[in-house]
């Protein structure tokens, strides 16, 4: 109850999380003030799915970036093959030696680790660049309005007029399937999307009392934008950033499927399931393992985002009991 009360207090403070601390400390009587991040953490920890997802996600990161140093097959290494029922050499099914089996040349676990790592890199790139640029874009646009708003939003419209998959495919067609290029293209297409949503929020916030109050107190434009408006868009940004990580991985997968994604010798989970789509009946491990890893990443990231939203959104008062 106490925490709820506190939350309410904080949440109803004009300016939300952006408000200056000192004034607050004096006012409370018996309870020691908790820092904002502590409360957020407490709330986050109460979201069980998010916590589990965070653990899963950390494990996935370790799987992708640390485990390769300890696993005795490298993703480039040729492994010996197994004899098929028809007498020909072919992929091995999962065993102790190859927990994920093999494809026609490599250990599938090593390849999956590599693919997971590459997919994570692309996803982070898209989420970080896309959300960062989009937030800035949307806040500036929404805050200033008028000519600035028109120009920036028409620019966003411009990029948004092209389906991202088509745009990325067209640009990647000649680009040779480099990971960074594809990540940046997809981030570039995501940014205006984020910008529009953020602007929508800013537009309705702009007319609220706490902004008026801040203005009346003589706060500069920059201060209002970054101390008051931007923090209030964080919930929206988080929802979008998490969606972007998941969407990033899926967009890269779709690109690989249509043949314009990351190209061999480089790999990604998308490349793996695209090349192995025909194996679904006869060598299911080649299709399902990478697919499950894509779902695991996207799913855990989405739940983490959900947990963060619960934790960071100060206006949301209904709490998990």
Q: Of the listed pieces 15-23, 25-33, 225-233, 293-301, which binds other proteins according to CB under 8 A?
A: 293-301
* Phi-psi label, residue 177: left if phi above 0, alpha if psi -120 to 50, beta otherwise: left
User: Which residues in 55-94 contact other proteins (CB under 8 A)?
Assistant: 76, 78, 81, 84-91
Does 317 engage in binding with other proteins (CB under 8 A)?
yes
Rule CB under 8 A: say whether 291 interacts with other proteins: yes
Binder among 105, 212, 213, 220 for other proteins (CB under 8 A): 105
With H, G, I as helix, E, B as strand and everything else as coil, classify residue 110.
helix
Residue 19 or 197: which CB sits closer to other proteins?
Answer: 197
Could you give the CA distance from residue 84 to residue 99 in angstroms, rounded to a whole number?
A: 18
3-state helix, strand, coil in the chain (%, to 5): 70, 0, 25
* Coil, helix or strand at residue 142: helix
User: Going by C-beta distance under 8 Å and a sequence separation of 6 or more, which residues neighbour residue 166?
Assistant: none
Segment 231 to 290, residues that bind other proteins, using CB under 8 A? 235, 239, 243, 246, 250, 253-254, 256-260, 263-265, 270, 273-283, 286-287
| Interatomic CA distance for residues 106 and 91, integer angstroms | 9
Alpha-carbon span 2 to 161, nearest angstrom: 49
DSSP letter at 225 equals: I
* Calpha distance 7→4 (Å, rounded): 5
Is the Cβ of residue 66 or residue 158 nearer to other proteins in the bound state?
A: 158
Selected from 103, 116, 122, 131, the binder of other proteins by CB under 8 A is 103
Determine if 4 is a binding residue for other proteins (CB under 8 A).
no
Q: Which residues contact 165 (CB under 8 A, 6 or more apart)?
A: 251, 254, 255, 258
Which of 66/200 has CB closer to other proteins? 200
Query: Closest separation between CB of residue 30 and other proteins, Å?
Result: 27
Q: Which of 56, 128, 160, 181 forms a contact with other proteins (CB under 8 A)?
A: 160
Of residues 220 and 317, the one with the C-beta less far from other proteins: 317
Residue 107 binds other proteins, judged by CB under 8 A: no
- Looking at the Cβ atoms of 136 and 165, the one nearer to other proteins is 165
170-209: which residues touch other proteins (CB under 8 A)?
Answer: 170-171, 173-174, 176-177, 193, 196-197, 200, 203-204, 207
Q: Distance between alpha carbon 191 and the CA centroid of its chain, in Å?
A: 13
**Of the ranges 55-63, 129-137, 158-166, 210-218, which one interacts with other proteins (CB under 8 A)?**
158-166
């Amino acid at each position: 109850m106490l925490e709820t009360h506190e939350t309410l207090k904080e949440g109803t403070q004009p300016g939300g999380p952006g408000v200056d601390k000192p004034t607050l400390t004096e006012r409370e009587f018996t309870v020691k003030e908790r820092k904002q991040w502590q409360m957020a953490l407490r709330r986050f920890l109460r979201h069980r799915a998010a916590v589990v997802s965070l653990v899963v996600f950390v494990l996935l990161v370790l799987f992708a970036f640390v485990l390769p140093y300890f696993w005795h097959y490298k993703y480039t290494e040729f492994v010996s093959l197994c004899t098929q029922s028809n007498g020909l050499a072919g992929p091995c099914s999962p065993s102790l030696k190859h927990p994920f089996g093999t494809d026609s040349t490599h250990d599938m676990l090593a390849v999956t680790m590599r693919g997971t790592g590459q997919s994570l890199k692309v996803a982070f790139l898209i989420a970080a660049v896309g959300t960062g640029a989009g937030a800035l874009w949307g806040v500036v646009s929404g805050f200033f309005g008028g000519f600035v708003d028109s120009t920036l939003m028409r620019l966003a419209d411009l990029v948004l007029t092209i389906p991202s998959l088509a745009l990325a495919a067209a640009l990647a067609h000649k680009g040779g399937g480099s990971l960074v290029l594809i990540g940046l293209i997809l981030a570039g297409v995501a940014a205006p999307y984020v910008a529009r949503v953020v602007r929508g929020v800013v537009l309705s916030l702009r007319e609220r009392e706490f902004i008026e109050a801040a203005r009346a107190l003589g706060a500069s434009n920059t201060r209002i934008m970054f101390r008051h408006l931007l923090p209030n868009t964080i919930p929206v940004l988080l929802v979008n950033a998490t969606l972007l990580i998941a969407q990033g991985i899926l967009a890269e997968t779709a690109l690989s499927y249509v043949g314009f994604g990351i190209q061999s010798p480089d790999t990604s989970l998308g490349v793996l399931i695209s090349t192995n789509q025909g194996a679904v009946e006869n060598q299911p491990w080649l299709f399902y393992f990478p697919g499950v890893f894509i779902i695991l990443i996207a799913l855990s990231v989405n739940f983490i985002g959900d947990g963060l939203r619960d934790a960071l959104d100060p206006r949301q008062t209904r709490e998990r009991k």
